[in-house]
Chains A and B, each alone.
Chain A
Amino acid sequence: MHKTDDEIFCFALEFDSPEQQDQSVESACQGDTEQATRVRKLLRIHRRMQQADRGDSSVLDRAELVFQTFASNDELQPGARVGAYELIEKIGEGGVGVVFRAEQREPIERDVAIKLLKPGMDSQRILARFALERQVLQQLEHPGITRILDAGVQENGRPYFAMELVRDATTITDYAARFELSLQQRIRLMIAVCEIVQFAHQRGIIHRDLKPSNILLEAKQQDAPAPKIIDFGIAKLVRSNDDESQTFTNLGERFGTPAYMSPEQALNQTNDVDIRSDVYSLGVVFFELLTGSTPRSHSSSGSLSTGWTQKTFWADDPRAPSQWQPNDSVRSVSQAELRGELDWIALKALARHSDDRYQTVADFQRDLKRFLAGEPVEAAGPSWTYRVAKLIRRNRVAAVASSLVLVTVVATSIVTSWFAIRASRAETDANDRLEEVLAIQQELESERDSADQARRQAETMLRVFQVQTATGRALAAHYQSVFSNPQLQGDPETVQRFASELQTSILLEPHARLIVRGDWHWASESFPDEIMLDQLKLSSNDVAAELPIPPPSSSSMNQTTAGTANGEPNEGTIPTQTENSTLPSFRVRLLDELKKVVGADDPFIAEVLDNSGLDAMARGDFEEAERHLRDASSIWRKSDRHLANLVQSKLFLAEALLKQAKLEEARTVLQEAQKLIGTLPAVGRHTKPLRAFLQELAAG
């Protein structure tokens, strides 16, 4: 009976050795040499296949790889046409699809990027969404955003998008690594990226898939690198609808890229996805720019590729950037600088709960800017000591002096404004002031409902410490001069008087709320009028209170400028100056130091000069007053926003001139003031009292 090839082959496999197998074939073929040769050859092939490195010897042993090609997206090759576009070259491939550079011929000739979505995407739904979103997306006009130009369906039913093309693009992380950007350069790059994302957020568009491959830069080095963000709006268009998302959950399918995805996205809490999810993703990008790794790439609670859809995976906070082993891509980043503020900033952006993150990309960006400027960052949280430390570090020179007298200085360095003098009812105890400052600090923090508030808070605290620094320096110098004076040395009375003089210096602000000021302008914009009035204990129907000018009677002038609005004597009046007072020299020093710290042209200095002028007039030193008030005017004049202040200074100046009987000069100054008042709004907070004062002066 004649046997078939396969029967002979299979029978021969019963034997182990090649010789036995061949022998078995010989006997089975019964002299059919052709068949025997055929089967022996097959056996030989079989044996070689077995010997060859199992698993990858031929296409037949590489089934899995074959399947990968099956599913790959590069069915379309350069030259193929998609809608009105001709594909030129493949430039990228991602989770959603493959991207080609393509040429559009009609209606205009241009190069575009064509994103071909993967098979299985629901074309109809995507196109319907695009029709809805088209308006919004096309309004997203920003040099840092590549817009979606068009959407369509390929012949095989897959959707595609035509987008603006970024030529020679490289990802933000590759860019940073290639050009070995420094830490500062990386942060600046991140600030630019935040700017773009914030722009889109303000127009109601969340990216949902921010990651380095969507943040591109021109591959050559630029002086001012201009990042471009691609795929804005795509995520929303290709997202699965709610019915499907359940199915996808089962399959472990999510849109997006796990490493850059916020917990709320990964855990499919779709209702919780908002701009703060983008904050998180930017946090990851930032983290990667600092460390070269993504924050959860080495998690103890499971690997990123399998665990990220599980709640437990997100249970722990990521390690801080400074705790990571930096890789080659961040060689140019000084790792020592990450500890502290940059750690805080990164971890705040990466907070698991969106409520704990920066609430907007702008907040994140602001902290990055603060870091670059050496200012306290918001991420640090409301820690008084941190802010003190930070500010003192900024003023290293002053720190030595001010640390001696830190507490005293906080209490006494409060510089007045003219309005505050008017409002003063009683001298506040130094300790009370300190308490008030702290209370305001807390209040400001609890009011942190807006980013602007946070900025103001930072500015406020900066100002407080600038004043403190200056005061500390002035005090140190003052102590030195006083106690090196042999005449004063060892005189307990002098020391006593010295302390009390400082405590009650006219330069000290009686009301804590306005310490934040230094300039009235800021305070009036920061707080609604009614709060202001309340804080200043001014009654709105008290006409006298609206007249922010101390009655220029010589008696009150000699007594104090801190008289009450209704002219009654104040309990906490400043003591009349005694002979041998050290106060004048202290004031000069303090003013000098303040100028050094905040800048000689700062409006704050102008306010201090106004106050000093008033103070001098109160002491009867009209020459000195004139000098201060002229200086103040020249500062106010530099800005259009301070017209009212300028008028005020001029009116004071006119008064000082009148007291010196410099009538011509006084007239000129008054005329100038009058002209300026004409340019002020007729009904303004400042205008009315200023007019009243002008009339009073003119009458006098």
Chain B
Amino acid sequence: MPTSITQYLEAVNQGEAGASDELLNVVYASLRQIAANRLGRDGATLHPTELVHEAWIRLGGNDAVDWKNRFHFFAAAAEAMRRTLIDNARQKQAAKRGGRSAKRVTLSGHEPTELPLADELLDLDDALTAFEKVDPLKAQVVKLKYFAGMTIAEIAEMTNLSAASVERYWAYAKAWLFEFMSDED
């Protein structure tokens, strides 16, 4: 049984069976804990970046950790975030009688302060699942950017790509996902 985040990460790196799931569970638990604590603060806004970085530090991560292992962590964190959000959205939707409401994908359909509809998130998840099958690398960029709140530069560093490439991948992925969401039905 691994005792530190580094050991979890190393296990993933070695391709050990179930290591990815274990890592995911640890990161997931940590993120939930942090998110919950964070909310106690007055007027706290929750930023994914803060959450993930805090989880990283809490779990004992530091600069000495190999970039490959760090990537495993952030990938796991992004996935953990995604699952939490989707679970959350599903619960909300289940509570609403009649399941999913009519599809709404707009470019500027909401006030900035309005929380994204659960439906929208679920649509995004569907699209992302489809996109992962077509283009796992770019889907990974989306997850790191969107669910782990990483910047283009951070992703570039971690994935060993140029920032310009990451920027373009992000643009492509967004357009693809949006198109998928609009076309469905």
* B130 on interface, CB distance cutoff 8 Å: no
Option from B33, B85, B177, B179 in Cβ contact (under 8 Å) with A70: B85
Q: How far in angstroms is the closest Cβ of chain A from B91?
A: 5
Q: Are B46 and A64 in contact (CB under 8 A)?
A: yes
Q: What chain B residues lie within 8 Å of A6 (beta carbons)?
A: 135, 138, 169, 172, 176
Q: Are A49 and B107 in contact (CB under 8 A)?
A: yes
* B42 on interface, CB distance cutoff 8 Å: yes
Contact A120 to B112, CB < 8 A, known contacts A45-B178, A80-B95: no
* A65 on interface, CB distance cutoff 8 Å: yes
Option from A9, A65, A69, A304 in Cβ contact (under 8 Å) with B89: A69
Q: Complex: how many Å from CA A539 to CA B88?
A: 84
Option from A10, A96, A253 in Cβ contact (under 8 Å) with B169: A10
Q: What chain A residues lie within 8 Å of B178 (beta carbons)?
A: 45, 49, 58, 60
Q: Are A77 and B95 in contact (CB under 8 A)?
A: yes
Q: Complex: how many Å from CA A558 to CA B36?
A: 89
Option from B112, B145, B176 in Cβ contact (under 8 Å) with A55: B112
Q: What chain A residues lie within 8 Å of B41 (beta carbons)?
A: 252-253, 305
| B108-119 near A? 1/0 per residue, CB < 8 Å | 101111111010
Q: What chain B residues lie within 8 Å of A63 (beta carbons)?
A: 48, 145-147, 149
Q: How far in angstroms is the closest Cβ of chain B from A6?
A: 5
* B9 on interface, CB distance cutoff 8 Å: no
Q: Are A121 and B36 in contact (CB under 8 A)?
A: yes
Q: What chain B residues lie within 8 Å of A304 (beta carbons)?
A: 42
* B153 on interface, CB distance cutoff 8 Å: no
CB nearest neighbor in A for B94:
A77
Q: What chain A residues lie within 8 Å of B135 (beta carbons)?
A: 6
Q: Complex: how many Å from CA A55 to CA B60?
A: 33
* B175 on interface, CB distance cutoff 8 Å: yes
Q: Are A120 and B32 in contact (CB under 8 A)?
A: yes
Q: How far in angstroms is the closest Cβ of chain B from A623?
A: 78
Q: Are B175 and A42 in contact (CB under 8 A)?
A: yes
| A43-61 near B? 1/0 per residue, CB < 8 Å | 1011011001101111110
Range for the number of chain A residues in contact with chain B: 35 or more
* B3 on interface, CB distance cutoff 8 Å: no
* A438 on interface, CB distance cutoff 8 Å: no
Q: Are A119 and B32 in contact (CB under 8 A)?
A: yes
Q: How far in angstroms is the closest Cβ of chain B from A306?
A: 9
Q: Are A67 and B47 in contact (CB under 8 A)?
A: yes
Contact A45 to B179, CB < 8 A, known contacts A10-B168, A60-B174, A63-B146: yes
Q: Are A56 and B172 in contact (CB under 8 A)?
A: no
CB nearest neighbor in B for A47:
B175
Q: Complex: how many Å from CA A55 to CA B165?
A: 21
Q: Are A71 and B46 in contact (CB under 8 A)?
A: yes
Q: How far in angstroms is the closest Cβ of chain B from A195?
A: 29
Q: What chain B residues lie within 8 Å of A75 (beta carbons)?
A: 88, 91-92
Q: What chain B residues lie within 8 Å of A96 (beta carbons)?
A: 40
* B12 on interface, CB distance cutoff 8 Å: no
* A263 on interface, CB distance cutoff 8 Å: no
Chain A, range 207-259, C-beta contacts under 8 Å to B: 248, 251-255, 257-259
Q: What chain A residues lie within 8 Å of B33 (beta carbons)?
A: 119-120
Q: Are B42 and A258 in contact (CB under 8 A)?
A: yes
Q: Are B43 and A305 in contact (CB under 8 A)?
A: yes
Q: How far in angstroms is the closest Cβ of chain A from B52?
A: 10
Q: Complex: how many Å from CA A251 to CA B55?
A: 12
* A62 on interface, CB distance cutoff 8 Å: yes
16 contacts between A and B (CB under 8 A): A6-B138, A10-B168, A42-B175, A43-B175, A52-B107, A60-B124, A60-B174, A63-B147, A65-B114, A67-B48, A69-B115, A71-B38, A120-B37, A248-B37, A251-B38, A253-B37
Apart from A6-B138, A10-B168, A72-B115: 15 A-B pairs, beta carbons within 8 A: A9-B171, A41-B179, A42-B179, A49-B107, A56-B108, A56-B111, A59-B116, A62-B110, A63-B48, A65-B114, A69-B89, A70-B85, A78-B95, A118-B40, A121-B36
